Each structure stands twice: as structure tokens, then as C-alpha cells.
């Protein structure tokens, strides 16, 4: 998947133009604080949300045009929006975060890249830190759809983080973007190793 090309062509079909409703609900209900990373932040809506709820947030995305669009939308957050590769994060991001906020980054990745995704989280999230995810759960693609998104099963998510993380919260959210009703899971994992 050439993400940069997608942004250049304006084919950002994943972008809902607003922060994830389940993520917003979670941050409203939980006083999460500290340095937070939003991997694959795209247009930066979850970075803006995190800052609003008191987190010292940084958004990272591999697509320069995506980050440029995020900076144009949220100029006050420009320094928090960074072009970088989650699979090879810059030195200053390694072990730097108490929180990672996941929203449609992993489901954008081909299943063969999920181990790289996990390694990227391990490289950036401190032991004891929280991986707060709105995970796109659905074992089947829509008819005719080849992905992305590449939805996964709850068991795939459990297996990916079965070692080194413990589940501390897990539910199907009662709020969602219209096209994602019933297809998401809010799962919070704590890094223990
Ligand atoms: C499906 S989009 C989701 C964007 C945003 N989270 C949203 O909900 O609108 C996936 C994003 O992950 C980014 N991405 C893919 N691989 C990446 C990598 N290795 N490192 C950082 N970002 C990556 C893409 O450029 C894209 O912006």
C-alpha cells in the first residue's frame, strides 16, 4: 500500500474528519495522562483529541502529505505531528511514551505486517504503559473488498499481544462512526515486560 500516493490523490476513504467516538468516550471517562503516541495518525484527529483531554500527544505517520494535511487542519499542533516510520521510530521516540492510542493504524496494515506493528509498539511504549486501542474487529472483508482495511478477529488481537501485555479493559463500545457500528472493540493493554 502506497499511503503517500493515497494522500496525494485525496483517496483517504478511512478519514472520518473527526476523532473516533469510542476513543473520545474512553478519554472522557478515564483520567489518562503522560506522553502519548498516535501511530498512523493520518489527519491527526486523535492527536487533537488526546491534547484536549490532557495528554502530551505526538502523532506519527509515514505519509508526508498526510502529516501536511494534519498540520493544516491543526496548526496549533504542528510540532506534535511528525513524519516517521512506526517500524523504525526515531531515537527520541524509543521508550518515550506512557500511552499509545491506536485507531485504524493496525487495520490499515497487511496482516503480514502485524508483527512489525507489535514491534513498533514495543519500541515506543514504556513498560507499565497503556496501549489504548479502538480495534477494527471483523474477520471478513466487505464483499469485493481486498483491503485495506484488513480487519482482524479478537483472537488475532489477543494472540498478537499474548506475551508482555495484560488486558485491563475490553468491551464493544456503544458509540461509533455509522459505518463501524458493532465492528470495533475497545481494548486496553498494559505493557508488563
Ligand atoms: C487507515 S489509515 C488511518 C489514519 C488515521 N488513524 C485515521 O483514522 O484517519 C492508516 C495510516 O497509517 C499510516 N501508516 C502506514 N504504515 C505506517 C508506518 N509504518 N509508520 C507510520 N505510519 C504508517 C498511513 O500513512 C495512514 O495514514
Ligand 1 site residues (CB inside 6 A) read 3, 14-15, 39-43, 60-63, 66, 85-87, 103-105, 108, 148
Nearest residue (by CA) to ligand 1, atom 27, is 42
For residue 141, pLDDT over 80 is answered with no
Nearest residue (by CA) to ligand 1, atom 12, is 40
pLDDT value, residue 182: 83
Q: What is the pLDDT of residues 20-36, one digit of tens each?
A: 999 999 999 999 999 99
User: How does strand 125-136 pair with strand 184-191?
Assistant: antiparallel
pLDDT value, residue 172: 93
State whether residue 170 is helix, strand or coil: strand
| Higher pLDDT, residue 148 or 32 | 32
For residue 107, pLDDT over 80 is answered with yes
For residue 178, pLDDT over 80 is answered with yes
Average pLDDT, the chain: 94
Q: What is the pLDDT of residues 81-91, one digit of tens each?
A: 999 999 999 99
**Best residue among 105, 118, 148, 149 to mutate for probing ligand 1, ranked by most atoms within 8 Å of CB:** 105
Contact 57, 50 (CB under 8 A): yes
Nearest residue (by CA) to ligand 1, atom 9, is 15
Q: What is the pLDDT of residues 54-68, one digit of tens each?
A: 999 999 999 999 999
**Best residue among 9, 47, 108 to mutate for probing ligand 1, ranked by most atoms within 8 Å of CB:** 108
pLDDT value, residue 179: 81
CA distances from 70 to 17, 76, 119, 136 (A): 11, 10, 25, 22
For residue 13, pLDDT over 90 is answered with no
d(CA 111, CA 143): 18
Ordered by where they begin, the domains of the chain are 3-8+21-191 (3.40.50.150)
Amino acid at each position: 500500500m502506497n499511503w503517500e500516493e493515497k494522500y496525494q490523490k485525496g483517496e483517504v476513504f478511512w478519514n472520518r474528519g473527526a476523532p473516533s467516538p469510542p476513543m473520545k468516550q474512553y478519554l472522557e471517562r478515564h483520567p489518562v495522562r503522560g506522553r502519548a503516541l498516535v501511530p498512523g495518525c493520518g489527519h491527526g484527529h486523535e492527536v487533537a483529541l488526546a491534547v484536549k483531554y490532557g495528554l502530551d500527544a505526538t502523532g506519527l505517520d509515514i505519509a508526508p502529505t498526510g502529516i501536511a494535511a494534519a498540520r493544516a487542519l491543526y496548526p496549533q499542533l504542528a510540532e506534535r505531528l511528525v513524519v516517521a516510520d512506526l517500524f523504525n521510530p526515531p531515537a527520541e521516540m524509543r521508550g518515550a511514551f506512557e500511552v499509545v492510542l491506536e485507531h485504524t493504524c493496525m487495520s490499515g496494515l497487511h496482516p503480514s505486517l502485524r508483527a512489525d506493528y507489535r514491534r513498533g509498539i514495543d519500541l515506543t511504549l514504556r513498560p507499565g504503559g497503556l496501549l489504548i486501542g479502538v480495534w477494527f474487529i471483523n474477520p471478513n472483508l466487505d464483499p469485493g473488498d481486498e483491503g485495506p482495511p484488513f480487519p482482524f478477529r479478537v483472537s488475532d488481537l489477543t494472540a498478537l499481544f499474548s506475551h508482555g501485555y495484560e488486558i485491563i479493559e475490553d468491551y464493544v463500545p456503544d458509540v461509533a462512526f455509522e459505518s463501524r457500528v458493532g465492528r470495533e472493540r475497545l481494548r486496553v493493554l498494559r505493557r508488563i515486560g
